[in-house]
C-alpha cells in the first residue's frame, strides 16, 4: 500500500545563536531575517513546490504554535503537532510518525528544518524527489551537505560506497555519523574528502522509521504506539499528557541514525544551504553593499566602515558607525550587542553568563 509524501517541519527549537534578536519567546524561525517573510514562512512556501499544504506537518511547542499558525494560514490547524514538552528530535519525529501511522500508514515522510536558508529552491526540490525515490524502496535517507569550509558546528557523515544514481544525484551508503569535530579534525575531513555535513533532513517511510524505533528505542516506540492508537480519538489529549513527560529526551542521530544498519545519504551541493547559525552566516546569504556592509536598520549613517552588520529595530534610533570593521551590531531596544564577526559563535558564552547572573529577562 503506497502512501503519500509528507513534509514534517521541525519548528520547536529555541535557539539563541542569533541572540539578542532570537529569544526564548521568539526563536530564529520566527524572524524575518532574510526577507519580509520569516524563516518558517519561507520554509513552508518552499515546500509547497513538492507538497500541498494538507501534507505539510509542523512539529512545535504549545507556546509557538499560535504564532506559527498565524504565519502560515494555509496550513490546517490539525497539521500542527504539539509537543507538551521538548523531548529531543527523536520524540519530535516520533510524534509526526505516530500521526502518519494513524492518518496514512503507507506514508513517506521528509523531516525538514524550519530555520535554515536554501538559496536554490529548484535544486532542493530535485533532492527531495530523489530522496523520495530511495525512501520508496525502503531506505532510510538523509540529505548531507557537501562541506565548503572546516565547520565545527555541524555533525559529519562519512560517505561509504556509491549506490548509483538517483534523480541525477549519486547516493552513498553512510559509513558513519560523526559528532561535531574539533577544528583540526574538521580541517582534516575537509582535506581528505568523502564527508558531508549532517543537515538534519531525513526521508523515509513511516513504517521504516517505526521499525527502527522498535529496534533501537523500544521504550519510545511503545509510547508512540499508544499515542498513535489514540490519535484523533477522545482520549488523545489525556494519553499524550500522560505518556509524553515520561519520554527520555534523545536526538534522532544518537537514538536511531548512528545505530541503524543501513542509511543512505545523498550529498547535496549547489543547493545554497545555510543553517543561519550565527550572525556572521548572514553575510553568506544576504547581499552586502559596496563596502561589504549588511545594513538591516532603518536609520543608519556610516563613514568608512567595512564588512559590518547592523541590525536595529528602533525606528527613531539613529545608528552611526565610523571606521569600524568586521563587527556585528544588534540593537533590540533592551539589549545592544557588539560582537566581533569571528567571535559570533561565542554568543553561547553570553547566554551562559546571563543565566549565571540571573539576568533571565534578556534570554
**Under 8 Å between Cβ of 169 and 130:** yes
Closest C-alpha to 38, from 83, 69, 82, 7: 69
Give the shortest CB-103-to-its own copies separation in angstroms: 46
Q: Is 339 in the site for its own copies (CB under 8 A)?
A: yes
Q: Is 321 in the site for its own copies (CB under 8 A)?
A: yes
Q: What is the DSSP string of 71-102?
A: H-TTS-GGGEEEESS--HHHHHHHHHHHHHHH
Exactly one of 190, 336, 358, 360 binds its own copies (CB under 8 A); that residue is: 336
Q: Is 346 in the site for its own copies (CB under 8 A)?
A: yes
Exactly one of 234, 261, 301, 358 binds its own copies (CB under 8 A); that residue is: 301
**Rounded to the nearest 5 degrees, what angle is found at the Cα of 338, between the Cα atoms of 336 and 340?**
160
Binding region for its own copies (CB under 8 A) out of 104-112, 160-168, 188-196, 340-348: 340-348
What Cα–Cα distance (Å) separates residue 101 from each residue in 37, 105, 210, 233, 277? 32, 4, 9, 14, 33
Exactly one of 234, 316, 358, 360 binds its own copies (CB under 8 A); that residue is: 316
Exactly one of 20, 27, 147, 181 binds its own copies (CB under 8 A); that residue is: 20
Exactly one of 56, 72, 100, 347 binds its own copies (CB under 8 A); that residue is: 347
Q: Is 359 in the site for its own copies (CB under 8 A)?
A: yes
What Cα–Cα distance (Å) separates residue 214 from each residue in 217, 220, 249? 6, 8, 16
**Under 8 Å between Cβ of 17 and 349:** no
Q: Is 338 in the site for its own copies (CB under 8 A)?
A: yes
> Given its phi and psi angles, is residue 15 left (phi above 0), alpha (psi -120 to 50 degrees) or beta?
left
Q: For residues 24 and 170, which CB has a smaller minimum distance to its own copies in the complex?
A: 24
- What are the residues facing 164 on neighbouring strands? 171
Closest C-alpha to 66, from 83, 80, 52, 45: 80
Give the shortest CB-337-to-its own copies separation in angstroms: 5
Q: In a 3-state reduction of DSSP, which class is residue 136?
A: helix
Element (H, E) at 353: helix 347-356
Q: For residues 178 and 343, which CB has a smaller minimum distance to its own copies in the complex?
A: 343
Query: Alpha-carbon distance 210 to 107, whole Å?
Result: 12
Phi/psi for 100 (5° steps) reads: -70, -35
Can you say whether the dihedral through the CA atoms of 341, 346, 351, 356 is positive or negative?
negative
Q: Is 191 in the site for its own copies (CB under 8 A)?
A: no
**Residues 118-147, mask of contacts with its own copies (x by CB under 8 A):** ------------------------------
Exactly one of 1, 191, 261, 322 binds its own copies (CB under 8 A); that residue is: 322
Binding region for its own copies (CB under 8 A) out of 68-76, 93-101, 262-270, 355-363: 355-363
Exactly one of 295, 312, 313, 315 binds its own copies (CB under 8 A); that residue is: 312
Exactly one of 49, 218, 342, 355 binds its own copies (CB under 8 A); that residue is: 342
Binding region for its own copies (CB under 8 A) out of 4-12, 113-121, 228-236, 334-342: 334-342
Q: Is 287 in the site for its own copies (CB under 8 A)?
A: no
Contact set with its own copies (CB under 8 A): 20, 301, 303-304, 312, 316-325, 327, 329, 331, 333-340, 342-344, 346-347, 349-350, 353-354, 357, 359, 362
Amino acid at each position: 500500500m503506497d502512501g503519500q509524501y509528507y513534509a514534517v517541519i521541525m519548528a520547536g527549537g529555541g535557539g539563541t545563536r542569533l541572540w539578542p534578536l532570537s529569544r526564548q519567546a521568539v526563536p530564529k524561525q520566527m524572524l524575518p531575517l532574510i526577507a519580509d517573510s520569516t524563516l518558517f514562512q519561507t520554509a513552508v512556501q518552499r515546500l509547497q513546490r513538492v507538497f500541498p499544504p494538507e501534507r505539510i506537518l509542523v512539529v512545535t511547542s504549545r507556546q509557538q504554535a499560535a504564532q506559527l499558525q498565524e504565519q502560515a494560514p494555509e496550513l490546517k490547524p490539525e497539521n500542527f503537532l504539539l509537543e507538551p514538552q521538548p523531548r529531543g528530535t527523536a520524540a519530535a519525529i516520533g510524534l509526526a510518525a505516530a500521526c502518519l501511522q494513524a492518518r496514512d500508514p503507507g506514508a513517506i515522510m521528509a523531516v525538514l528544518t524550519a530555520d535554515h536558508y536554501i538559496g536554490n529552491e529548484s535544486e532542493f526540490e530535485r533532492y527531495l524527489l530523489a530522496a523520495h525515490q530511495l525512501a520508496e524502496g525502503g531506505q532510510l535517507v538523509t540529505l548531507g551537505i557537501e562541506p565548503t569550509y572546516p565547520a565545527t558546528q555541524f555533525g559529519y557523515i562519512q560517505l561509504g560506497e556509491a549506490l548509483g544514481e538517483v534523480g541525477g544525484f549519486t547516493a552513498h551508503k553512510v559509513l558513519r555519523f560523526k559528532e561535531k569535530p574539533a577544528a583540526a579534525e574538521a580541517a582534516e575531513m575537509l582535506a581528505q574528502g568523502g564527508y558531508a555535513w549532517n543537515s538534519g533532513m531525513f526521508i523515509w517511510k513511516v513504517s521504516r522509521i517505526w521499525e527502527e524505533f522498535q529496534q533501537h528505542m523500544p521504550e519510545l516506540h511503545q509510547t508512540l504506539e499508544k499515542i498513535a492508537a489514540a490519535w484523533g480519538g477522545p482520549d488523545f489529549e489525556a494519553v499524550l499528557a500522560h505518556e509524553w513527560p515520561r519520554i527520555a529526551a534523545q536526538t534522532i542521530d544518537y537514538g536511531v541514525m548512528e545505530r541503524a544498519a543501513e542509511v543512505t545519504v545523498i550529498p547535496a551541493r549547489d543547493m545554497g544551504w545555510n543553517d543561519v547559525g550565527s550572525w556572521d552566516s548572514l553575510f553568506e546569504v544576504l547581499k552586502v553593499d559596496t563596502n561589504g556592509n549588511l545594513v538591516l536598520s532603518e536609520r543608519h549613517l556610516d563613514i568608512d566602515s567595512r564588512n559590518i552588520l547592523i541590525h536595529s529595530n528602533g525606528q527613531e534610533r539613529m545608528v552611526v558607525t565610523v571606521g569600524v570593521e568586521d563587527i556585528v551590531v544588534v540593537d533590540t531596544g533592551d539589549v545592544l550587542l557588539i560582537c566581533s564577526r569571528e567571535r559570533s559563535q561565542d554568543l553561547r558564552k553570553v547566554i551562559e553568563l546571563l543565566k549565571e547572573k540571573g539576568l533571565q529577562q534578556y534570554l
